[in-house]
Amino acid sequence: MTPWNQVTIIGVGLIGGSLGLALKATRLARKVVGVGHRQASLDEALARGAVDTASLDPAAGVQGSDLVVLATPVGNFGDLMARIGPALAPRTVIIDVGSTKAQVVAQLEPLSPPSCTFVGCHPIAGSEQRGVAVARADLFRGATCVVTPTAATPPEAVARVSRMWECLGMTVRVLSPADHDRLLAEVSHLPHVVASTLVRVITADAEPLFGPGWADTTRIASGDPTLWRDILLSNADEVAAALERFEVTLAAFRSALSRRDAARLEALLAESKARRDKLVKRNNGP
């Protein structure tokens, strides 16, 4: 694809920093500008080569860019768009990398200048770690990116953004914002709530005894609380619905245990094992 002339990434942490590194490694951007609210983080992004220049001022940072990436917590998007809107060049494409889409798209599409285009994106990559120190150029390789256009999104913008993610090694899926949020509530947002709950219910006496299983199961609970607060609140209805379904299945386990129903308990465990094994094999290949 034709490289972007200049890309501004607002929020140069794990995802933003990795995107900067990946765009530079693949030569998909002639220049990458980083925007943040802490000079120390921007200096680190510069030192790691994730960006070419940096600014503490979002409006100054987007000047001259043909692609702007919002890579902060989703709760900051509205304020950022209001600040950068007057400084955006005509025909600038704005994308985000947030984990929820319906509320984000509904908020940002009207705030985008008429001459610019907003395209919702969610690269499903990353980890519980944070900061540009753990960013890497291959973070997106082999992962999936969901692109969430609406009827107002120009097809050529969707095609160019999708091609960019594909050039970074991602498989692109196009979904509506609502479908994205419903599905991600099940495979991302609910697991985070469950992991956080498992950490909260462990007793002090049990703390010295946890092993790899507990650590693996609760790993994502170490994610940034502010980031995840905004994610959960912006998809509250779908996460609540997923929690209700989870509670029904949890009740089935509780019932089997209270009745000492070995057959039912084994059946529940076997069903879960079979489905997980099938999903992992399908997604990871043989």
DSSP 157-180: HHHHHHHHHHHTTPEEEE--HHHH
The confidence score (pLDDT) of residue 285 equals 59
Kindly list the strands in the beta sheet with 117-124, ordered across the sheet, starting from the edge strand earlier in the chain: 53-55, 32-35, 7-10, 67-70, 93-96, 117-124, 144-148, 171-174
Q: Which of helix, strand or coil describes residue 55?
A: strand
pLDDT in tens, 3-39: 999 999 999 999 999 999 999 999 999 999 999 999 9
Virtual torsion, Cα 77, 78, 80, 83, nearest 10 deg? 170
pLDDT in tens, 62-85: 999 999 999 998 989 999 999 999
* pLDDT at position 173 over 80: yes
The confidence score (pLDDT) of residue 1 equals 79
266, amino acid identity: E
Q: Which CATH architecture has domain 179-284?
A: Orthogonal Bundle (1.10)
C-alpha count within 13 angstroms, C-beta hemisphere, residue 61 = 28
CATH superfamily of 7-175: NAD(P)-binding Rossmann-like Domain (3.40.50.720)
pTM: 0.90
How far is residue 211's CA from residue 174's CA, in Å, rounded to a whole number? 39
Helical axes 77-84 vs 102-111, angle rounded to 10°: 20
Neighbours of 251 (CB within 10 A): 10
pLDDT in tens, 111-162: 999 999 999 999 999 777 788 999 999 999 999 999 999 999 999 999 999 9
C-alpha dihedral sign at 159, 168, 282, 238: negative
Share of the chain above pLDDT 90, in %: 92
pLDDT in tens, 195-243: 999 999 999 999 999 999 999 999 999 998 988 999 999 999 999 999 9
Give CATH 1.10.3660.10 domain extents, the chain.
179-284
